Each structure stands twice: as C-alpha cells, then as structure tokens.
C-alpha cells in the first residue's frame, strides 16, 4: 500500500455548519484502498433519495471500479488533464440526465439541478464513509454519449472520481501537488451572492 499523507484543510467558516460539510474537500489523490461494490451501492442509495422535480429522478449513472473494463472505458472518456491524476481513483462515474419529462417530449428544465441534488446526497454519504469525491467537467461528452449508448434525450454532464482520503501527493504532477498541499480553503463572502432585496452585480 502506498505511503499515505493526511492533508489538513482549514475551512474558515463565518457561521457554524455541519462537520460533514466543513471537512469535505475534493482531492486529486486518494488512498490505495479499493472501494467495495457494497459501498458503491450505499452511495447510490443515498443519491436515490434525493428530491427531484415531479419525482422524475432524471439521473443516470455509468460506473466502474478500478481494475475493471468499465473503469477503463470511463477513464478513456476523460480529458487529458483529468487523466493526469484520476488514474489513482478507486471508482469512476459518468453522470447523465434525461432531458425530457417522462410523459411527453417537453423539456425538463430542472434535470441538471436534480442531478446536482443527487450528487449532494452522494457526497454527504461518501464523506461519512471517509470517501472523497472529485467531480469533473473535463470529459469528452460526445465520446461518452457514444461509448455508453445514450440516446438523444439524455445529456452526459460530468464525470466523478472517488477514493478514500489519504493519498500521497508525491504521486501527482508538481503543479497539482502544490494545490493538493495548500491548507487554507476559500469561498466568496455571503454578501457577494445573497440579496435581501434586488439583485446587484
């Protein structure tokens, strides 16, 4: 097993929040510990109970654990930047969503929002299990669409890498290693995105 290094991130919250939110972050390096299929199913179960518009549940997930053909097929759909680090993850997903309502061809404007709620549940569950989650926009959407036989009323949205916290940053390219070892996290101030009145740029 690789030598594991714990990176202690500092999250300077201005109001008290749940530890599971405060302690979550998205590493690019993971412990060399397999994720069992039963644990994958637990993550799916958490996502399954996410709310969705009209209970349509538009999410569709392609998944594979490391060492399997499915993992390789998903990995091959990632862009080159994400390939440079995601190979050390223990589980890869591709997330897609159904673009139309179930009963007609009317566009489901809320499907992407609902996929986000699904992933919010998954991340909460994963963090409680010591599993880190890193979501990726960097993949070849058209290649994934064809590779996994999605029809036209589905849209491939994101890829996701999973693994237990505690990887060795030395395994990363130098620029990513520097990011991995940064301890202070940051976010916009609430005043920059919340308005108790009219919107302001």
Give the pLDDT confidence score for residue 8 in this predicted structure: 82
All domains of the chain in start order, with CATH: 34-165 (3.40.109.10)
C-alpha 79/C-alpha 123 separation (Å) is 23
pTM for the full model? Answer: 0.93
> With left for phi above 0 and alpha for psi between -120 and 50, is residue 171 left, alpha or beta?
alpha
CA distances 40 to 7, 71, 88, 137, 143, Å, are 24, 13, 17, 21, 25
Per-residue model confidence (pLDDT) at position 104: 78
What confidence score (pLDDT) does residue 1 get?
37
Residue-level pLDDT, tens digit, the chain, 201 residues: 344 456 789 999 999 999 989 999 999 999 999 999 999 999 999 999 999 999 999 999 999 999 999 999 999 999 999 999 999 999 999 999 999 998 778 999 999 999 999 999 999 999 999 999 999 999 999 999 999 999 999 999 999 999 999 988 988 989 899 999 999 999 999 999 999 999 988
pLDDT at 201: 85
Model pLDDT, residue 184: 94
């Amino acid at each position: 097993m690789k030598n594991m290094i714990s990176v202690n991130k500092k999250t300077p919250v201005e109001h008290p929040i749940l530890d599971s939110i405060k302690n979550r972050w998205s590493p690019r390096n993971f412990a060399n510990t397999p994720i069992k299929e039963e644990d994958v199913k637990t993550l799916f179960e958490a996502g399954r109970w996410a709310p969705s518009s009209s209970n349509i549940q538009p999410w569709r997930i392609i998944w594979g654990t490391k060492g399997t053909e499915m993992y390789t097929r998903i990995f091959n759909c990632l862009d080159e930047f994400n390939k440079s680090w995601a190979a050390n993850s223990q589980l890869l997903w591709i997330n897609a969503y159904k673009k139309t309502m179930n009963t007609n061809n009317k566009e489901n404007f809320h499907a992407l929002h609902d996929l986000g709620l699904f992933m919010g549940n998954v991340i909460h569950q994963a963090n409680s299990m010591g599993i880190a989650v890193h979501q990726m926009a960097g993949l070849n959407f058209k290649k994934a669409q064809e590779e996994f036989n999605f029809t036209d009323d589905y849209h491939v949205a994101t890829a996701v890498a999973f693994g237990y916290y505690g990887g060795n940053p030395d395994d990363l390219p130098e620029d990513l290693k520097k990011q991995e070892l940064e301890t202070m996290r940051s976010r916009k101030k609430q005043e920059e995105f919340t308005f108790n009145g009219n919107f302001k740029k």
